[in-house]
Amino acid sequence: MSIVFIISAPSGSGKSTLVGKLRERLPGLMFSVSYTTRSPRGQERQGENYHYISRAEFEERIRRGEFLEYAEVFGNYYGTHRSVLERAQAEGRDLVLDIDVQGARQLKSKIPDAVSIFILAPSRQILEQRLRNRSEDSEEMIARRLKEAAEEIQNWRAYDYVVVNREVESAVDTMAAIVKAERVRRCRMEREIQPILETFQQGGG
């Protein structure tokens, strides 16, 4: 069984950097590419960062029940396609989903075994500084993101783990430790443990 890891964070928390580094650290993980109705930013590429589609196409796919979860964030739709989980399961790989708090809630109710991680900036001041430093947004957008962050942060208790992103390498260490610990949890090891127990039951000695 694949483990589904949900990662959520307010924008500017450094989530993309952390997820990118986690990817380098644990190459066996599968990372979901979401569908969105927003336009590509900067260096982003079709099919790599997102599948960019029109609102009409997104709504058609909702009608067809193609999404495992979806949500409207900052006026655009974002969704995880069902086929991503099917592929992860077929390949026996663990899956990482970078989704917002609404999507995380939907997914946890569908897959209660999913492991959720919330990434938090150390303070509002640092979050604001990071949003300014990346100079992607207007003043108005920064104010909006900070307001949204204040609201999203209220949901931290619904997550299994909270990682405070004070320093990138140490936050990635913590995330990799979570993945490794979840992989060796007793209930997830059932299939591997049974054959080991059998070797003992076969006696000898």
Q: Which positions lie near ligand 5GP, rule CB under 6 A? A: 11, 34, 38, 69-71, 73, 78-80, 98-100, 102-103
Residue 14 or 103 with smaller CB distance to ligand 5GP: 103
Residue 99 or 179 with smaller CB distance to ligand 5GP: 99
Q: Which amino acid is it at 9?
A: A
Strand-pairing partners, residue 119, are 163
Q: Least distance (Å) from ligand 5GP to the CB of residue 136? A: 9
Closest-approach residue to ligand 5GP (CB) = 103
Q: Least distance (Å) from ligand 5GP to the CB of residue 203? A: 52
167 — phi, psi (to 5°)? -140, 130
Residue 106 CB contacts under 8 Å (≥ 6 apart), including other chains? 69, 70, 71
Residue 2 or 34 with smaller CB distance to ligand 5GP: 34
- Report the alpha-carbon distance of residue 29 to residue 179 in Å, rounded: 9
Q: Least distance (Å) from ligand 5GP to the CB of residue 79? A: 5
Q: DSSP letter string over 24-57?
A: HH-TT-EE--EEESSPP-TT--BTTTEEE--HHH
Q: Least distance (Å) from ligand 5GP to the CB of residue 93? A: 18
CB atoms within 10 A of CB 78: 23
Q: Least distance (Å) from ligand 5GP to the CB of residue 20? A: 13
Residue 2 or 36 with smaller CB distance to ligand 5GP: 36
- Report the alpha-carbon distance of residue 165 to residue 156 in Å, rounded: 14
Residue 10 or 172 with smaller CB distance to ligand 5GP: 10
Asked if 78 and 32 touch (Cβ cutoff 8 Å), the reply is no
Q: Least distance (Å) from ligand 5GP to the CB of residue 113? A: 19
Residue 83 or 193 with smaller CB distance to ligand 5GP: 83
Instruction: For CA atoms 159, 80, 78, 102, give the dihedral sign.
Output: negative
3-state secondary structure of 187: helix
